[in-house]
Amino acid sequence: MKITDVKTVLMTGPCTNDPFLSEARKRRSAAFIEIHTDTELIGLGETYIGYFFPESVPTIVDFFKPILIGQTVEPDNIDVLWRRMYQCGNFWCRVGLGLSVLGGIEAALWDLAGKAVGLPVYQLLGGLKHDKLACYATGGPSNYPKDRLAAKADHYLSLGFRALKIGAGCLDATLGRWHMPDDPQEIAAFEADKLAFLRGHVGRDVGIMMDGHMGNSPTKTWDLETAATVLKALEPYDLIFFEEPLHYTDIAGYEALCQRTSIPVAAGECLAGVCEWQTFLDRNCFDIGQPDAAFIGGIGEFMRVAAMLEQNGRQLATHAWGAGGCLMQNIHCGFASGNTRILEIPPDYAGLHSDIVTDSFILKDGFVHPCDKPGFGVILTDEIKNKYPFVPGSGEFNSVPGKILVD
């Protein structure tokens, strides 16, 4: 089986069917990479860059394409092909955008290898480490007023989840805008009041996480003292973790914060490549790492970072806010990693998930179960491509003067 072509597919569709997430975001873009062969088999991978900067992906894929044409694909040579692409783009893809697109290509190689031997990708990565995995509904903003937040939690529980994550601050329907206090003590009081209400509503048996979104904050970014003040106020509410309480430029802050709170500090979705992760892990910056298999630079990079976390006595909680390929790439990596604590799942997802994943995603009683379909268990037909034509400019970004996100 030899590679004959490498293609990029860009699509735009509804962001979600979740009525609560829809208050923040109406549509999403996605970038898939297809690897065609001299057989009927096609490998499919996704890069999370497609959610933010989809227009960049085809050019980068075409840059790497000649390295792959004519090559054979099997599990034992995927790392060789990855390293050839990595070396070719070494000056500009050690981390970040270039590496993340490379990772989408590499995911397509793993999908193709799994299809060729009739096995799910997690089997090619060393086999199942879990019979099932806990998961949570990633809820985006804290929808307000509080009755709206309660309805949000009820909606996720009705879908079969037993854990959920909400954002710091709030998206207030009555005010029609985002809101977060400015003073650290006011922020701490606001978030503690929110969690007291939510705990009172769902009880102690439901897992709760909170996301500061400070790695990509559209508002004022917290410093160490703000984050420490907020997390101290939240310690009574039994959080599974607090995600991204600081920006990724504040490595020393992450290191200090982990020593100042009993709440597990989680982060890592914005980090690409072993070398970038190593900087944080050497200083014990995270209690729980959050690699994203569609962003980190590939399935191989995910597994190497997972092993680094495990060697440091750390767990991982997958990040997965891309489309259907991203979801399944992370699920397979989660099942192949012995230290996976919990999986992030976009709840009530729309067509760029459901049409691509079909029945490969299996949720029962709050747990994800492994799928035994070959590869990642994803499909991308011409019908699906035509159903979700790409809309230029549909990538997500933080609004600033001169560039305002309207949907």
Give mean pLDDT, residues 311-327. 97
pLDDT > 90 fraction of the chain, expressed in percent and rounded: 93
Q: Which two tokens stand for residue 232?
A: 């101290």
Considering the chain, what is the average pLDDT of its residues? Answer: 96
Lowest mean pLDDT among 46-50, 252-256, 305-309, 401-405: 401-405
Give Cα 353 to chain centroid, integer Å.
13
pLDDT at 256: 98
Q: Please tell us whether the domain made up of 3-119+381-387 is placed in CATH 3.30.390.10.
A: yes
pLDDT at 177: 84
pLDDT at 401: 87
pLDDT of 111 over the 90 cut? yes
pLDDT bracket for residue 382 (50, 70, 90):
very high
Rounded CA gap, 211 and 117, in Å? 40
pLDDT at 404: 86
Give mean pLDDT, residues 110-118. 98
Rounded CA gap, 407 and 382, in Å? 26
pLDDT bracket for residue 167 (50, 70, 90):
very high
pLDDT at 42: 98
pLDDT bracket for residue 133 (50, 70, 90):
very high
Residues in Cβ contact with 63 at an 8 Å cutoff, skipping those fewer than 6 apart: 88, 89
Structural domain boundaries of the chain?
A: 3-119+381-387, 124-369
Read off the amino acid at residue 228. Answer: A
pLDDT of 359 over the 80 cut? yes
Phi, psi of 345 (to 5 degrees): -130, 125
Cα–Cα distances in Å, from 162 out to 158, 357, 366, 380? 9, 22, 5, 30
Per-residue pLDDT reduced to its tens digit, 283-298 = 999 999 999 999 999 9
pLDDT at 309: 98
Read off the amino acid at residue 315. Answer: Q
CATH of 124-369, one of 3.40.50.620, 3.40.50.720, 3.40.190.10, 3.20.20.120: 3.20.20.120
pLDDT bracket for residue 22 (50, 70, 90):
very high
pLDDT of 218 over the 80 cut? no
pLDDT of 39 over the 90 cut? yes
pLDDT of 200 over the 90 cut? yes
- Residue 286 three-state SS: coil
pLDDT at 217: 77
Run of H or E residues at 387: helix 382-387
CA within 13 Å, CB half, 209: 30
SS (H, E, C) 78-100: HHHHHHHHHHHCCCCCCCHHHHH
pLDDT of 197 over the 90 cut? yes
pLDDT bracket for residue 7 (50, 70, 90):
very high
